[in-house]
Amino acid sequence: MRPRLIAAAAAVLLLALTGCSAAAEPQSGYVVESDPEPVETLASSPAPPLVAESPAAGTDETAKTPESEYLREVRAQMEQPISQIPKDATDDQLLAAADKACELMRAGTVMSEIQLIDGETPNPSTNNLRDSGVMADAANRHLCPDVTPNYGN
């Protein structure tokens, strides 16, 4: 039994001298690192919690203001092939036209007589200023809803 005891002692000594590694020697060209870099875990470095931010003014596409709704309707009208609203009209110009429409409606001007576009020609089939009417109606619904329009009845 002495040879077995000596063999067991030699195996323990050999393991102690080689670092007690339980890993097998690398084969087929694989490299095993002896001291891997420490890996941060969520427990060791918690991320800060997410905090909601207030959206910046004008960035929320779902935000509806009276002005944005008016502009949306007028821009939709501008897409019509027979529209006489200038394609390069700015928001400021369109809102100024809305202010003018509200002033005229407050003064009692008949809706069919409100002209907001210089040089607009009446619609041949109705003899109305179609685009100015659409703009005045949108202004009334969104920007001056307190005004009762005069339809000339």
Angstrom distances, CA of residue 43 to CA of 35, 38, 40: 22, 13, 8
Q: What pLDDT sits at residue 13?
A: 46
State the pTM of this model.
0.59
pLDDT digits (tens, 9 = 90+) for 94-152: 999 999 999 999 999 999 999 999 999 998 888 899 999 999 999 999 999 999 999 88
- What's the rounded Cα separation, in Å, for the pair 47 and 44? 10
**Exposure of 63 in the CB half-sphere (CA atoms within 13 A):** 9
Q: What was the pLDDT predicted at 14? A: 47
- Residues of the chain with pLDDT > 90, as a percent, come to 52
What pLDDT does residue 152 have?
A: 84
Query: Predicted confidence band at 37 (pLDDT cuts at 50, 70, 90)?
Result: low
Task: Tell me which of 44 and 134 has the higher pLDDT.
Answer: 134
% of the chain exceeding 70 in pLDDT = 59
Task: Identify whether the C-beta of residue 111 lies closer than 8 Å to the C-beta of residue 47.
Answer: no
Cα–Cα distance between 68 and 71 in angstroms, integer?
A: 5
Average pLDDT, the chain: 78
Exposure of 24 in the CB half-sphere (CA atoms within 13 A): 4
In this predicted structure, what is the pLDDT of residue 54?
Answer: 62
Choice between 60 and 98, residue whose per-residue pLDDT is larger: 98
Look at residues 79, 150, 81 and name the one whose alpha carbon lies nearest to residue 133: 150
Closest CA to 73 of 134, 150, 127: 134
**What confidence score (pLDDT) does residue 131 get?**
95
Residue 15 scores a pLDDT above 70:
no
How far is residue 145 CA from its own chain's centroid?
29
